């Protein structure tokens, strides 16, 4: 993407949160990552997200994140939009990653700085400071999982920053979604940060979703998204219900390790996680395999095993 206008135009739809495949000793598997990217593009996903929380960026050095950005953009080119997670509490690192992401033609995704007792005013000042750094603008990630939840009122103030092109909303409480959907829809792009419960946000006018589990179940989650996108809520609901057993396992065993295990079982390039995360054990992998086998036996899911 060349600039903010093109970014706003193309920023919509279902984005695959592409896991970062590591080898057992923690090295990057860039060949496997390239295959994963090619697979989701070929399936018709609208974009990808690289190096986010489920991409395990907290376990990477700054140099590794730079290499990841460059390698991914070499693979993708301009075929689909790419969100590049540029989150960092060190403003110097955040600025460097944001500038690089924009220069490479990606969209920097930025969280609030995850430091203790940061105030709303300081968060707003942070975004006003770093948003102009990228020629493609920035995507604000409201990520309660890192310990900071941006209120709808604060997001409204951040939305006034000219170079903020969208919000990826991780707080999916009904009140927050209602306020954001009704106050911010049309002002900037709105993304539901989770595929666990995206039907409500989409019905309220969100522009898209990002999905980790689509790494393991791309056919099923893509079909559910396309149904709700076309206005067929009943079909979207029914398809979403089909993969509830996998969502249960993901909540129990953790992410991205559950998605990576399922990808490996399907012959995809899930790879291993990096410490402090641990790959699923034998019994956990067996339970994931049972769920996948059940999906493959149900023609409605579109899931096929290797």
User: Is residue 94 a contact partner of residue 110, using CB atoms and an 8 Å limit?
Assistant: yes
Q: Give exposure, 194-229, as e/b (b: 16+ Cβ within 10 Å).
A: bbeebbebbebebbbbbbbbbbbbbebbbbbbbbbb
State yes or no: is 54 an active-site residue.
Answer: no
Chain mean position to CA 194? 8
Which is catalytic among the residues 54, 135, 141, 225? Answer: 141
Burial 78-93 (b: 16+ CB within 10 A, else e): eebbbbbbbbbeeeee
The question of whether 141 is a catalytic residue gets the answer yes
Separation of alpha carbons 209 and 248, rounded Å: 20
Give the residue ranges of DSSP H helices in 57-109: 62-76, 91-103
Check 54, 168, 225, 260 and give the catalytic one. Answer: 168
Kindly state the tokens that stand for 136: 């493609």
Strand blocks (E) in 78-218: 82-85, 107-111, 138-142, 164-169, 189-192, 208-211
N- to C-terminal Cα separation, the chain: 35
What is the set of active-site residues? 141, 168
């Amino acid at each position: 993407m060349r600039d903010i206008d093109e970014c706003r135009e193309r920023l919509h739809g279902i984005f695959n949160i592409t896991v970062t495949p590591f080898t057992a000793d923690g090295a990057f598997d860039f060949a496997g990552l390239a295959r994963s990217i090619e697979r989701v593009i070929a399936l018709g996903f609208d974009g990808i997200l690289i190096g986010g929380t489920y991409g395990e960026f907290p376990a990477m050095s700054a140099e590794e994140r730079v290499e990841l950005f460059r390698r991914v953009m070499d693979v993708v080119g301009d075929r689909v939009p790419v969100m590049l997670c540029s989150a960092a509490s060190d403003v110097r690192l955040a600025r460097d990653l944001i500038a690089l992401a924009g220069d490479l033609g990606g969209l920097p995704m930025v969280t609030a700085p995850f430091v203790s007792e940061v105030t709303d005013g300081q968060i707003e000042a942070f975004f006003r400071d770093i948003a102009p750094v990228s020629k493609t603008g920035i995507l604000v990630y409201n990520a309660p999982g890192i310990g900071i939840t941006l209120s709808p009122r604060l997001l409204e103030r951040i939305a006034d920053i000219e170079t903020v092109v969208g919000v990826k909303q991780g707080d999916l409480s009904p009140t927050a979604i209602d306020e954001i959907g009704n106050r911010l829809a049309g002002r900037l792009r709105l993304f539901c940060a989770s595929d666990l419960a995206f039907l409500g946000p989409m019905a309220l006018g969100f522009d898209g979703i990002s999905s980790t589990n689509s790494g393991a179940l791309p056919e099923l989650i893509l079909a559910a998204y396309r149904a709700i996108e076309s206005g067929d809520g009943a079909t979207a609901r029914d398809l979403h219900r089909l993969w509830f057993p996998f969502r249960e396992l993901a909540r129990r065993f953790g992410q991205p390790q559950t998605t990576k295990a399922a990808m490996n079982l399907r012959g995809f390039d899930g790879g291993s996680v990096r410490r402090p995360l641990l790959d699923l054990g034998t019994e956990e992998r067996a339970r994931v395999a049972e769920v996948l086998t059940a999906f493959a036996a149900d023609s409605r899911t579109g899931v096929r095993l290797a």
